Structure 1
Amino acid sequence: MSYSFDIVGVTPILDFFYYQQQVEQNPKRSKAYLGSYQCTLDSFIQSTQMIPKKPDWNWDQVTESIVNFWLEQEETIEQWKQTFENSNPQNLIIARVANVKWLRQEFQSLL
């Protein structure tokens, strides 16, 4: 199975918490969102432990996709670091991890 990782935004802590409690309850979902107080590789890897109702994925491969993103997307990471550092101190930086196969199936079911 393959997984993708992307940094997607900055949001207030309470908004992210509310989203996780309301939307991320399905363990068969195609994606999960990670919130972090720092824009670092270690903090995103650690945040995988905080996902409520973790999807039934290969989490070693998820971690590998996070590391690969960090190795290949230096400019993107630097832009997000700047955005995050210039935001409200009560914000989190948000990333999305997706199970590519499940996400593809989800999109195909929409057609």
Structure 2
Amino acid sequence: MKYAFNIVGVSTVLSFFYQQQELQEKSIPNVEYLGHHQCKLDTFLSSVETVSQQRNWKLDEVVDSVIGFWVNNSDSIRYWQSRLEDAGQENLLVARVADIKSLRTTFESLLHES
């Protein structure tokens, strides 16, 4: 299975909480959103370790996707780090990790909703 990791935005803690609740109700398989107060590789690696265990994902492959994103997207990381700092301490940097098949299914379902 292949995995994708990307940073999707900045959110207030409360908005992130409500979004997580909504996603649980929809029960979207193998797509997980992570929220952190810091834009650090180590922080996201710790989160994906926990998520991988909960979802029975292949930890090495998930970690590789996070590290790959970090290595190949330094401009994007700096951009989001700056947006998080601008937003203030009450906000989170939100990232998504997913198996690629589930992510594709999620995107396709969005196209059919419109």
Shift of 1:98: 1.7
Q: Which residue of 2 aligns with 1:12?
A: 12
CA distance in 1 between partners of 2:68 and 2:44 (Å): 13
Give ranges in structure 2 of 5+ residues lacking alignment. Answer: none
- Structure 1 residues 105 and 91, CA gap change in structure 2 (3 angstroms): closer
Q: Which residue of 1 aligns with 2:104?
A: 104
Alpha-carbon RMSD: 2.4
Question: Which amino acid in 1 is paired with 2:4?
Answer: S
How many residue pairs match? The answer is 109
- Structure 1 residues 88 and 54, CA gap change in structure 2 (3 angstroms): same
CA distance in 1 between partners of 2:76 and 2:40 (Å): 12
CA distance in 2 between partners of 1:85 and 1:107 (Å): 29
- Structure 1 residues 101 and 14, CA gap change in structure 2 (3 angstroms): same
Contact 2:8/2:94 (8 A) holds in 1: yes
Contact 1:35/1:47 (8 A) holds in 2: no
Q: Which residue of 1 aligns with 2:33?
A: 33
Q: Which residue of 1 aligns with 2:92?
A: 92
Contact 1:36/1:47 (8 A) holds in 2: no
CA distance in 1 between partners of 2:59 and 2:47 (Å): 12
Residues 23-64 of structure 1 show CA distances to partners (whole Å, capped at 9, x for unaligned) of 1363x614110111100101111223565x943322321111
Contact 1:2/1:99 (8 A) holds in 2: yes
Identity among equivalent positions (%) equals: 39
Question: Which amino acid in 2 is paired with 1:12?
Answer: T
Contact 2:31/2:103 (8 A) holds in 1: yes
Contact 2:10/2:84 (8 A) holds in 1: yes
TM-score, structure 1 normalization: 0.81
Give ranges in structure 1 of 5+ residues lacking alignment. Answer: none
Deviates more, 1:3-12 or 1:100-109: 100-109
Question: Which amino acid in 1 is paired with 2:55?
Answer: P
